Structure 1
């Protein structure tokens, strides 16, 4: 897990000076945007253009090759019609700048990028329909199939075997389970890990793999209203978990997060799955693992969120999942694999003729 000093904490003043120094952009307005381990500022210049200034945590900033591949993937997807953020070059033409900054606990090197701001609201803030969720699932599959054509000599940096957020690493949660001591939820998490080890781990070798976004959450998908209460995706954010991993993990992560703020969480799975399978069909083994993978992501999010919240008590972002995730995990576990999957798969089948 990350140590406290990895997270940047620039003041708005420092961020304003940095933007002028690196990009020649004079900021007239600046505000903070939520972020897990990095720091994001929404900035507005004299021409009223909006940008996001992203300062990555010092740990991830060390892997410049990885950040270059993430930036390349965003640009590649943008060229293929996916609404990703584009990165602005510095005055010297660099797409990222490594800056030594002191945030009050010694100078550290942070990767700084300025990105175009994408308008809209997150899925978490929007009353999305099942049809919207179908399109989110479909877009995720389009992204991952498009990334199959990405060419770079450095793609091997995306091999993410040790990433705690990969769904192949659900058992690593055990190392932080003590943060749940005294909470009845700890027993549910333990039970999910146990089932995951016996039911999912033996199947992982058979899952289809490729480059995945890795974090298609309700906070990383931006939508804008169109008509009849529907929305269209106007932005896909945050490629920092881009990795070579199993495609079914992408589906599970989406279902887990899209359920969080949805008033009818059980209706989410079938819609997302149907959208995904309109492009890429899951195998029987992948479908059979979906329930435990979704629960695995909720467990990761709840345990690591609580762990990081003890380290950074001022960052409310870490407990985003906790609010509705605790109840959701408990309810899904209570319902059980058979009933939840029956609902998801039945719903998914109803989309095929739309």
Structure 2
């Protein structure tokens, strides 16, 4: 499909409803119609703004294959240039023996299609059903076998492997050149963290949390924005978290895991490399505060940096703002999670970060002085 009319610069606005509401039966019909597959089973997967489904279907040789069927939200469905950029990145990585999904061609020989879907949205204020119809991009991607990182305990070695892996991905993605990425914007990008000011009203009745987020945003405004032009830029995966990292048991280290692949390229973007490291560090620190985990979050972060720095040198000017960027990502996850939950009550997946994230944000932001934080980072990259 052509990227003509691409709306890459559009970002989410308060009150805007973009998530599709596709039933299992509708998803099955779309797959059968557009891909000509015989469905054996289908189930819905967790998702923020899209509808994702795990599919087993028979191919033309009667062999059972596994796929992920994705129905993109109405806003991102207008960004066809970004979809094409995602596919370029997937095929590039796949060609470099990186395990990641790749798009399947539909019956028309295309890797995605734009379809009109009837939704049953609910007006939260009046609790009324609102029939709507909107256009959504649909895609069928190959399924990447393995466990997601969330299912395994974080260890120093695994976190170091994750840091090294994402740095290696960044190095490969240097080969991707796409104008759609330069024009792409999203409220989830760290370059757009100040957009949270539009959504922070959802926690205004929680003054401690409101003030904490406000403090982080002020620091971003005063200390990150002025140096943005100086930061090394590249193509980023944009959401390297425990749900998107595929692992498998190590064949050489009993009890350990290796990073096996990655999924979900929906946040692919052009941006500062330190943004990718901050996102990775944020989610790996959250892994360390899961129930039953004894690894300290700051030690976990150090291991991420240790692995990352074996591939890419991290300049001091990036380390100086890393704490602000980690805190900024936590703020994005917490505030946007609360906002989206207000539109989709009952979707507990949206509150995953909130269970431990607020306490971690307070600790990241307040426990160490700037000097102590810098010493923590420097100790990691000098190992």
Q: TM-score scaled by structure 2?
A: 0.86
1:66 alignment partner, one of 82, 95, 102: 82
Contact 1:120 1:224 in 2 (8 A): yes
Q: Cα gap change, 1:290/1:271 in structure 2, threshold over 3 Å: closer, same or farther?
A: same
Contact 2:323 2:365 in 1 (8 A): no
Contact 1:261 1:324 in 2 (8 A): no
Q: What are the within-5 Å matches in structure 2 for residues 186-335 of structure 1?
A: 186-226=210-250, 227-262=253-288, 263=293, 264=295, 265-335=297-367
Contact 2:19 2:74 in 1 (8 A): yes
Q: Cα deviation per residue 1:125-162 (whole Å; 9 max; x = unaligned)?
A: 211321111121111111111111124xxx12112574
- Aligned partner of 2:5 in structure 1 is none
Partner SS, residue 111 of structure 2: coil
Aligned CA-pair RMSD: 1.7
- How many residue pairs align between the two structures? 347
Contact 1:218 1:258 in 2 (8 A): yes
- Aligned partner of 1:92 in structure 2 is 108
Contact 2:67 2:143 in 1 (8 A): yes
Q: Cα gap change, 1:313/1:160 in structure 2, threshold over 3 Å: closer, same or farther?
A: farther
Please tell me whether residue 24 in structure 1 is matched to residue 36 in structure 2: yes
Partner SS, residue 49 of structure 1: strand
Q: Name the CA distance, whole Å, in 2 between partners of 1:317 and 1:339.
A: 34
Partner SS, residue 223 of structure 1: strand
- Aligned partner of 2:56 in structure 1 is 44
Q: Cα deviation per residue 1:265-292 (whole Å; 9 max; x = unaligned)?
A: 2222111112221111111111111111
By how many angstroms is 1:310 displaced? Answer: 0.4
By how many angstroms is 1:87 displaced? Answer: 1.1
Q: Which aligned runs of 4 or more in structure 1 are off by greater than 4 angstroms? A: none
Partner SS, residue 91 of structure 1: coil
- Aligned partner of 1:109 in structure 2 is 135
Contact 2:148 2:245 in 1 (8 A): yes
Q: Name the CA distance, whole Å, in 2 between partners of 1:49 and 1:340.
A: 48
Please tell me whether residue 134 in structure 1 is matched to residue 160 in structure 2: yes
Q: Name the CA distance, whole Å, in 1 between partners of 2:245 and 2:318.
A: 24
Q: Name the CA distance, whole Å, in 1 between partners of 2:186 and 2:132.
A: 27
By how many angstroms is 1:182 displaced? Answer: 2.6
Contact 1:180 1:303 in 2 (8 A): yes
Q: Name the CA distance, whole Å, in 2 between partners of 1:252 and 1:64.
A: 28
Please tell me whether residue 179 in structure 1 is matched to residue 195 in structure 2: no
Q: Name the CA distance, whole Å, in 1 between partners of 2:17 and 2:192.
A: 25
Q: TM-score scaled by structure 1?
A: 0.93
Q: Kindly indicate which of the two structures has a greater share of residues assigned to helix.
A: 1
Q: Which structure 1 segments of 5+ residues have no match?
A: none
Contact 1:142 1:279 in 2 (8 A): yes
Please tell me whether residue 339 in structure 1 is matched to residue 372 in structure 2: yes
- Aligned partner of 1:6 in structure 2 is 18
By how many angstroms is 1:48 displaced? Answer: 3.2
Q: Cα gap change, 1:199/1:161 in structure 2, threshold over 3 Å: closer, same or farther?
A: farther
Q: Name the CA distance, whole Å, in 2 between partners of 1:99 and 1:65.
A: 17
Contact 1:207 1:286 in 2 (8 A): yes
